[in-house]
């Protein structure tokens, strides 16, 4: 009899993101405080008979607020690649039918694809009773993308290196926020290239966050992560200035939302999604509704969570 499992893949939020200069390996070291939120993609997995070809489908969930074409090739699909990497690790096939229903916007800086890949690794491990350790899952995850290892366990953590160094913290503090979804492309590669240009500009002053030494920023990340509560003004993101140059329409949306919310508006990762911290769930819900109806910028109220349990059906 086939077995099935349901996994929720949470969006991540960088409450603090410090980015270092390009290193000799062509990578940017980071220091970031990441938390998981209750905005989810839904992954449904079902076992197939031995020797069957695995089947993969990705669609938009009926609740998705910002949709784009799902037009990437199967070879570039992170869920498919996660399945392949785990098969390679254990040395045999894992025939499965996969249906991914997305709510997290593609390319929005919320780690949707990375979270989907982590969900596939966790789900297959449970569905086939593989017994792969968390450390090994994280090692496999690191070959797929810098955010994927954190999303194996989620919760709250300080991330450093190029994403592979994870210092898990206690359960995240209760934080209520709103995610805003401008319809603006903000390619990660272009943002990092612009970040490098800003960092190397002779006009940069020592106070410019992008030009600050990484170690100075690491202490600020840690200090924020250790606070018992987080104020609306506390989050910071070294990529924000670069993202606003790459996507000026996003910068315009930030100003509009800030006027409506009377709050600081922050960039999620490399953009183009945005966020604001709110006082409670009612505040967040009201702001999300106002942005959607008055500014026509789709928005959703979220809060921090630990990783939800998987649901298995025999």
CATH number where 136 lies: 3.30.230.10
Residue 229 sits at the vertex; the CA angle it makes with 228 and 234, to the nearest 5 degrees, is 125
Q: List the catalytic residue out of 77, 147, 238, 253.
A: 147
Does 214 share its domain with 254? yes
Same domain, 149 and 252: no
- The range of the structural domain enclosing residue 151 comes to 4-171
Please give the model's pTM, rounded to 2 decimal places.
0.93
Distance CA 166, CA 71 (A): 32
Tokens linked to 220: 């600020």
Q: pLDDT, tens digit, for every residue of 250-271?
A: 999 999 999 999 999 999 999 9
HSE of 8 in the Cβ direction (CA atoms, 13 Å)? 16
Pairing of strands 274-278, 266-267: antiparallel
pLDDT, one tens digit per residue, over 12-70 is 999 999 998 888 778 889 999 999 999 999 999 999 999 999 999 999 999 999 999 88
Q: How many angstroms separate the CA atoms of 271 and 186, rounded? A: 6
Tell me the per-residue pLDDT of 137-152, one tens digit each, with 9 for 90 and over: 999 999 999 899 999 9
d(CA 68, CA 302): 21
pLDDT computed for residue 134 by the predictor: 96
- At residue 182, does pLDDT exceed 60? yes
Contacting residues for 309 by C-beta, under 8 A, at least 6 apart = none
Tokens of 105: 């916007």
Whether 12 is catalytic is: yes
Which of the listed residues 109, 141, 171 is the one where a domain comes to its end?
Answer: 171
102 tagged catalytic: no
Tell me the pLDDT band of 206, cut-offs 50, 70 and 90: very low
Look at residue 180 in the predicted model and tell me its pLDDT: 98
């Amino acid at each position: 009899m086939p077995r099935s499992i349901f996994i929720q893949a949470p969006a991540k939020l960088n409450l603090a993101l410090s980015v270092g200069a390009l290193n000799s390996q062509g990578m940017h070291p980071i220091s970031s405080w990441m938390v998981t939120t209750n905005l989810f993609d839904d992954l449904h997995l079902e076992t197939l008979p031995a020797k069957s070809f695995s089947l993969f489908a990705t669609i938009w969930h009926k609740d998705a607020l910002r949709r784009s074409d799902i037009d990437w090739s199967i070879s570039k699909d992170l869920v498919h690649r996660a399945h392949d990497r785990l098969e390679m690790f254990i040395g045999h096939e894992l025939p499965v039918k996969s249906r991914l229903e997305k709510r997290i916007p593609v390319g929005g800086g919320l780690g949707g694809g990375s979270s989907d890949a982590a969900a596939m690794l966790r789900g297959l491990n449970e569905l086939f009773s593989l017994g792969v350790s968390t450390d090994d899952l994280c090692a496999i995850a690191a070959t797929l993308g810098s955010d994927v290892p954190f999303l194996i366990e989620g919760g709250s953590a300080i991330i450093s290196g190029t994403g592979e160094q994870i210092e898990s913290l206690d359960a995240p503090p209760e934080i209520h926020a709103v995610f805003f979804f401008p319809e603006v492309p903000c390619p990660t590669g272009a943002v990092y290239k612009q970040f490098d240009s800003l960092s190397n500009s002779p006009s940069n002053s020592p106070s410019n966050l992008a030009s600050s030494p990484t170690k100075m920023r690491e202490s600020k990340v840690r200090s924020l992560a250790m606070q018992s509560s987080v104020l609306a003004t506390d989050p910071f993101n070294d990529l924000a200035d670069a993202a606003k140059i790459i996507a000026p329409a996003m910068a315009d949306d930030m100003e509009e939302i800030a006027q409506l919310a009377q709050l600081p508006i922050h960039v999620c990762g490399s953009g183009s999604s945005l966020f604001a911290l709110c006082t409670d769930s009612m505040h967040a819900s009201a702001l999300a509704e106002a942005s959607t109806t008055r500014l026509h910028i789709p928005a959703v109220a979220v809060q921090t969570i630990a990783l939800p349990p998987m649901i298995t059906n025999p």
